[in-house]
Every structure is written in C-alpha cells, then in structure tokens.
Structure 1
Amino acid sequence: MSAGMTQLILVRHGRTEFNAENRLQGQLDVPLSAEGVAQADRVAPVISWLRPQAIVCSPLSRAHQTAAAIGRACGVEPVDDARLKEIDVGEWSGLRAEDLFRDDPRYEAGMVSDSDFRRPGGETGTEVMDRIAGAIDAIATEHEGERVVVVSHGFALRTGMCRLLGGDYTASRAWGGLSNCSWSLMDRFGDAEMARRGLDRRWRLRAYNCTVPAKPQGPAGGEGEGQAPIVGV
C-alpha cells in the first residue's frame, strides 16, 4: 500500500435467522445463525491475508461476532463503534418484508420509490448514509496510512460507500445488495497523495461484494477438494 493512502476493508456480518426469514432486523440485536458463524469462520482467514492493523465494528452482536472471528484470525482485537449500526427501521423491526408489503402501504410506497423516506419511528436512508460515511471517514482518519477492517450491516455499508463516492439515496438504489460476510475495498487518499495523483476525489472503490463460497459438494456428496475460490460480484 502506497504512502498517503488508507485502505478500508468493509465487511457485512454473517447470516442470521432473521435474514433467512426475510425479517427486517434494523437495530435489533440478532445473533449469527449456525450458518452465519460458518460464514464468518470462512471469511476470517481471507481477510487476515490482507494484514489489517485494526478492526472496528458495529456493537450489534451479529456484527461483533463476525468481527471477533476475523480478529482471531488476524490477532487483532475488534473495537465497537455505535455509529456503525444498521438503519433503525422503527415500527418495522422484526417484521417480514412480505407481510409489510401486504399489510402496510407505507412500506410498498417506500420500496418502489426513488425518493427517500422515514421508516416509521426510525431513520431515513439519507440519515443512515451520512452517519455511516462520517464514521468510516473518521475511522480512516484515525488510522491514516493503515489497513482497517470495518464490520457493519448491508444497508448501512451500501449507502455509506455510495455517499463517500458522492452519491445520494437515489443513486444508492442502483447499487446491488451486499451478501452476508462479503467484503468490499475502498481507498482513502490524503491531501498530498490526491495532489500527487491529480485526483479531485478522496475515495476510490476497488472491490465490491466479494465472497468466499462454501466448498462445493463432490460427486459422492463429500466436500470438493481444494480451496474455495474467491468470487467478486
């Protein structure tokens, strides 16, 4: 990594039972499922190959558990940061998306519109993307010149990355969703490095929604041989 540049490895937490049931988690403290724990254990050694110097995570247990698995592989203790929590969906917390589509016209109206809206009793998308982008930028500034893992949530990371690149809520809707335990890479350039490279933007996206799939089943139902490939989507 060149001088004057900080690299962020942005990781979404592993799968939860709420993910499997298509329930809105928001800021509910839902732990990883058994599958989510396995996902975290698979991604941890891959992240460790990048040799991060720090790990910062949302304090919600699904993110902290994922960060802890990465931390064990890297020999780095994760630090919680409440600014990295998922969007607060208020009254919709814990409800299934299909039930909301059927029973609450506010949900369908919000989901099909490019305009931002406030989740009842919760946050707007713009509030979240500003919160997350500000937190990521502050973390990068604190760890200038280092490689840092940030473990957070799908909506939060997707919109936060979009904001760092100059996009708004409408632009963020064109970004694909982040898979559980996926990672994305962003570079942050210092002032001198920006001037040296002739850049007018501080942030650069290098990879998005990369995953480590489970090993495929062999012909007889056993695990396939060899290391599972790394897939960038």
Structure 2
Amino acid sequence: MTRLIVWRHGNTDWNAANRVQGQLDIPLNDLGREQAAAAAPLLAALRPDAIVTSDLRRAADTAAALVALTGLPVRTDARLRERYYGRWQGLTMTEVAQRFPAEHARWRAGEPDPGNEVESLEDLGKRVGTALQEAADAVPGGTVVVATHGGGARQGCGYLIGWDSTVLRSVGPLNNCHWTELRFDEVRGWQLRGHNVGLITQAPPPAPV
C-alpha cells in the first residue's frame, strides 16, 4: 500500500506576522528550523523510500532535516509551491482586507476564485495533486514524504481524495511542520489516514499562507 506523507514546512517570520507568503521565497526562522529538526526523527521512523520537496526555501530546508537523518536523495518539484496569491503577496491579511475588501470577503467566504490574480483553488488542487500522484507513482507500495505548504497540501490532498473546495473548508489547516497522511488502496483508491499529525510546538497560524 503506497503511503504519502504531505508535510508542511516549518515556521517563518511571515507566518508569525500573518503576512501572505504565497510563492515568495521566505526562509525558515529559528523556530522553523527547530520544528523541522524535531519532526524529522518522527518521519524517519516511518522509513520513507523517497523525499520530494517544493523548490521554495522554507519547504526545501524543512526537508533537509529529514534528508540529514535518512541519507535519501531529495527531488524538488516547483508544482508543489504554495498557492499564488497575486497582488496579496507581501501584505499582511489586515492590509489585504483594507486594500481589497470585496476580494478578501470572497476569499473568507471560501469562493474558489476571489480575484486579485489569486490562483483558483481548482488550479491549485490540480497542480499540487498531480505532483503528489507522480511522487507516489514513482515508489509504488512505498512511503513518500513530500515537503510543501499549507494551502497547497490541503487542496492537493483533496484533489487525490476527490473532495471539492466546499468539503475541504471543513478540514482544519496544517500547523507548521505537521503533516497529512494518505494511503492508496487498489480497491478504494486514496484514503485519508491522518491529518495535522506532529509535535505541538506553537499555536496554529491564523491562515495557511
């Protein structure tokens, strides 16, 4: 049975400030590096066969903590990047609400395509989900750890399971350095086996951006 561990990156200063990162390349802070180092032994105990990561530093540096323990090679895939947040990137969510109130309200309401050049949830799910499927296909029957981002992880996993954005709104966000576990059954397909798994090292951020 193939197992996917979809791992959100560690904390960044922008996470702490509730600032929209999107596809901007923001590094881990000290807490984020500590989180990655603490989570890596738990993931190494799952005996992964492959490690794949987003090419953004906060995900790649998170994956590096697991690479250091396992000695496995790591493959990067730009499709695993976070949702592109268009004109919101670099702003705090308070600033977004002030500058783009209509679009922010649509985003808060869960509309899949709020405007302001923000990537649609459908496009995000297909992009990340396709990358997750290909990572799993490369190691049939094995365990793959994928280091990625909060919003991308939720939509990508939803794409594999077949859940639409309405259902996914009921799934809580991943805390920094926590993960979702999916397993593939030949009869039943992809199944959710665990969500928001990991060590509690901080309060969850207000939004997975």
Same-fold status (TM-score > 0.5): yes
Q: Which moved more, 1:55-64 or 1:120-129?
A: 120-129
Match of 1:121 among 117, 122, 134: 117
| Structure 1 unpaired stretches of 5+ | 216-233
- Relative contact order (C-alpha < 8 Å, sep 6+): which is higher? 2
TM-score (norm 2): 0.92
Q: Which amino acid aligns with 2:83?
A: I
1:169 equivalenced with 2:156 (yes/no): no
Q: Which moved more, 1:111-120 or 1:157-166?
A: 111-120
SS of aligned partner of 1:188: strand
Q: Which amino acid aligns with 2:171?
A: W
The sequence identity of aligned pairs, in percent, is 38
1:152 equivalenced with 2:148 (yes/no): yes
Match of 1:208 among 190, 195, 199: 195
Q: How many residue pairs get matched?
A: 202
Provide closer, same or farther for how the CA distance between residues 172 and 214 of structure 1 changes in structure 2, counting only shifts above 3 A: closer
Is the 1:24–1:96 contact (alpha carbons within 8 Å) kept by the matching residues of 2?
yes
Is the 2:125–2:156 contact (alpha carbons within 8 Å) kept by the matching residues of 1?
yes
Query: 2:154, 2:181 → 1: CA distance?
Result: 12
The Cα of 1:133 is off from its aligned counterpart by 1.1
The Cα of 1:107 is off from its aligned counterpart by 3.4
Is the 1:68–1:77 contact (alpha carbons within 8 Å) kept by the matching residues of 2?
no
Is the 1:89–1:119 contact (alpha carbons within 8 Å) kept by the matching residues of 2?
no
The Cα of 1:149 is off from its aligned counterpart by 0.3
Tell me how large the CA RMSD over aligned residues is.
1.5
Q: Which amino acid aligns with 1:204?
A: Q
Alignment of 1:64-213 (within 5 A): 64-189=60-185, 193-194=186-187, 199=188, 202-213=189-200
Cα offsets for 1:22-46 (capped at 9, x unmatched): 0010000000001000000000011
Query: 1:112, 1:213 → 2: CA distance?
Result: 26
| Structure 2 unpaired stretches of 5+ | 203-209
Aligned residue in 2 for 1:26: 22
The Cα of 1:10 is off from its aligned counterpart by 0.9
Aligned residue in 1 for 2:206: none
Aligned residue in 1 for 2:205: none
TM-score (norm 1): 0.83
Cα offsets for 1:99-146 (capped at 9, x unmatched): 111221133222232331144234111110111111111111111111
Q: Deviation above 4 Å: which 4+ runs of structure 1?
A: none
